[in-house]
Structure 1
């Protein structure tokens, strides 16, 4: 029997659990990007040097390598290429190439939501400052300015008044692969912004790992999550509405089988909004944490799907406590000198510790998820204990950065 071959776009450590699951299945793993020193390439069976945003180049490499599956797992820039290759080669993927293009472009996604009667803020896409400034009266201020095609809150700015709009547009354009941005009304949330790792089987939404997002208001980019917490305390009625709207979206887009990263919120007007729905795993190791927190292995299911194997038993998560991913980051730019954690806290609450930088490395302000120093996986018996630990991090955690 021919050994199955799986191509993974990207090379970050987010791919390591998928490589592990693939190897358990006896699958040959090929990692692909243009950075041969990335960590995932040390664990894969083969490396392919190709730009993951060049869909035609990825397709050519995939055909030459005779792959049986492709994923852009937690790697947002490669999703479009993965969908394109899957469609051209007849391989499993969450959705069609056209659906992926809609979901991955914030401007097109907002248009689709509006056309199909979903709750959606006023929003328009632009490719230059001049056109955007002509539409100042279209929006209800303040507004949010974003690249249409970046993840991790890179290039995102809240703008309170029109005179500050030009600078925000330039910031967003500089973070956009396609040189396109979206401006939309700022939606005042009621409670937490909420995300979910959601799994679909044959078009039916069967799993939703809802989590609450925490933000560091003192960081240079207060829109990048600094922690994710499970289970979410979003009211059940709103969770049901999110699931219903997601199912409607998936039906309209003819979604098949696979993992989606979802961001949503309940706003002060009492309405539920789908903010982002991407056909990939979320960053910050969300699927990994859910393997600790609940009783479904999402990474295993997504890996099996990618190579055409049955995904196994997927059901709504049964949580084993209260969990958080804390994104370690610096409030200043400087030289990393290490971290210290209270020994009792480490013993009682830390499941896993991951540090991505070494002593003496340069670290930057927390401008986006790509500027994280690392992550801590935390577990508590109660939500109250967890919330207190996040609110009082300086009592048990020290991150040393020298100027």
Structure 2
């Protein structure tokens, strides 16, 4: 029996773990200690920090694994590259993993590789950030370089906001620098794909749904397909290939944040793993193949197949709470009725579990997937689900209505 090691045991790794088990693989799950749902699904667990390259390499060598992978997180990508290099496994090269988990290194690589991207500067103090912002011109985006999603990112409109934005980016970072980047205007979309033999063999642009806060945006969902002209799709593919080549990404999924304006394309950043927020599920639904399965096959060095067999429009959004609290009630009967109607609905937690006010996608309490090309239809289904959940004795639909009314 082949052995696969999956780094991470959280909500975004659970579908990957389930898929590995379904494929008949001996599944080893590695994560820091905690109440993570993936642990209960594993054949064997290791309670290790997924950033600890040497400890995970030692465990991988001890187990003589046949492959290693993750989904939906940048945290473990560098370790995966390290283990793949040391054990000669199929997966992202270590150098590429280091580039794609540091936004400043990525910016340098994109610049050298001719990738269309926003201008940016690496800074090590609030004073340097101020000078960089003045040079680039406001508004700018101040970014933590080693976090994914919207963590540590602030849009800065004027000089009075720089110091707080710099501190927000530096706090929680293992680096002694942050990135100040020119703010781009356009439509933000997502692009996922797969690189093999240094070529992009699969490309999946998609609409991105975001919740816009005061100084940042939080990705809350996606829709497939992304409707655009043939010329724009070709330019997206060209820029993504340039980004793959510039970073050295290979034998791995890629997930990029992209801005488009007319037929102009900018690659904001790219990760060497699949996206979160239901992206693999939506790819599987729209294109007709199991994306998680193809990721695992690639990690094992097996033949993959990204041939599209279906074309089913679909979209998803995360279930989130605008307030912190405790789930005090879930109408299980109504949830089951919604599922019987065909709604793909996942609730992450039972009654009694604490939830956090949404700051990024990891604060999710579930998700809803609908086979439709109408966002209004998805939103109506979201409301029906929110009516089934109570936070601190208050219905979540009501909580959201009060939040949006302010």
TM-score (structure 1 length as normaliser): 0.88
Q: Distance in 1 between matches of 2:337 and 2:192?
A: 28
Query: What is residue 323 of structure 1 aligned with on the other side?
Result: 314
| Residues 1:216 and 2:205 aligned together | no
Query: What is residue 134 of structure 2 aligned with on the other side?
Result: 137
Cα distance change of structure 1 residues 132 and 221 upon mapping to structure 2, 3 Å threshold: closer
Query: What is residue 288 of structure 1 aligned with on the other side?
Result: 281
Q: Distance in 1 between matches of 2:245 and 2:189?
A: 22
- The CA deviation string for residues 272-292 of structure 1, in whole angstroms up to 9 with x for no partner, is 011222111111231123222
Residue from 246, 249, 260 that aligns with 1:266: 260
Q: Which runs of 5+ in 1 are unaligned?
A: none
Larger mean CA deviation between 327-336 and 271-280 belongs to 327-336
- How far 1:271 sits from its partner (Å)? 2.2
Q: Distance in 1 between matches of 2:277 and 2:113?
A: 31
Query: What is residue 391 of structure 2 aligned with on the other side?
Result: 401
Q: Distance in 2 between matches of 1:345 and 1:134?
A: 57
Query: What is residue 199 of structure 2 aligned with on the other side?
Result: 204
Residue from 311, 321, 333 that aligns with 2:324: 333
Q: Any conservation in 2 of the 1:154–1:175 contact (CA below 8 Å)? A: no
Q: Any conservation in 1 of the 2:318–2:367 contact (CA below 8 Å)? A: yes
Query: What is residue 309 of structure 1 aligned with on the other side?
Result: 302
Q: Any conservation in 1 of the 2:321–2:358 contact (CA below 8 Å)? A: yes
| Residues 1:74 and 2:67 aligned together | no
Cα distance change of structure 1 residues 394 and 40 upon mapping to structure 2, 3 Å threshold: closer
Q: Distance in 2 between matches of 1:317 and 1:143?
A: 42
Q: Any conservation in 2 of the 1:194–1:213 contact (CA below 8 Å)? A: yes
Q: Any conservation in 2 of the 1:350–1:377 contact (CA below 8 Å)? A: no
Q: Distance in 1 between matches of 2:371 and 2:65?
A: 39
- How far 1:387 sits from its partner (Å)? 3.7
- The CA deviation string for residues 107-133 of structure 1, in whole angstroms up to 9 with x for no partner, is 111111122222221211234334323
Query: What is residue 356 of structure 1 aligned with on the other side?
Result: 348
Q: Distance in 1 between matches of 2:233 and 2:329?
A: 40
Residue from 8, 11, 15 that aligns with 1:10: 8
Query: What is residue 54 of structure 1 aligned with on the other side?
Result: 52
| Residues 1:243 and 2:237 aligned together | yes
Task: Provide the secondary structure at the position in 2 that maps to 1:167.
Answer: helix
- How far 1:340 sits from its partner (Å)? 6.6
Q: Any conservation in 2 of the 1:366–1:372 contact (CA below 8 Å)? A: yes
Query: What is residue 368 of structure 1 aligned with on the other side?
Result: 360
Task: Provide the secondary structure at the position in 2 that maps to 1:242.
Answer: helix
Q: Distance in 2 between matches of 1:363 and 1:220?
A: 21
| Residues 1:41 and 2:39 aligned together | yes
- How far 1:348 sits from its partner (Å)? 9.0
| Residues 1:123 and 2:120 aligned together | yes
TM-score (structure 2 length as normaliser): 0.87
Q: Distance in 2 between matches of 1:16 and 1:344?
A: 21
- The CA deviation string for residues 204-248 of structure 1, in whole angstroms up to 9 with x for no partner, is 32222221111223x567511122111112333222111112223
The total of aligned residue pairs comes to 391
Task: Provide the secondary structure at the position in 1 that maps to 2:117.
Answer: coil
Task: Provide the secondary structure at the position in 1 that maps to 2:269.
Answer: strand
| Residues 1:299 and 2:276 aligned together | no
Q: Any conservation in 2 of the 1:144–1:159 contact (CA below 8 Å)? A: yes
Cα distance change of structure 1 residues 338 and 90 upon mapping to structure 2, 3 Å threshold: same
Q: Any conservation in 2 of the 1:194–1:265 contact (CA below 8 Å)? A: yes
Larger mean CA deviation between 336-345 and 358-367 belongs to 336-345
Q: Any conservation in 1 of the 2:327–2:354 contact (CA below 8 Å)? A: yes
- The CA deviation string for residues 83-116 of structure 1, in whole angstroms up to 9 with x for no partner, is 01111111110x3211111122111111111222
Residue from 183, 197, 222 that aligns with 1:186: 183
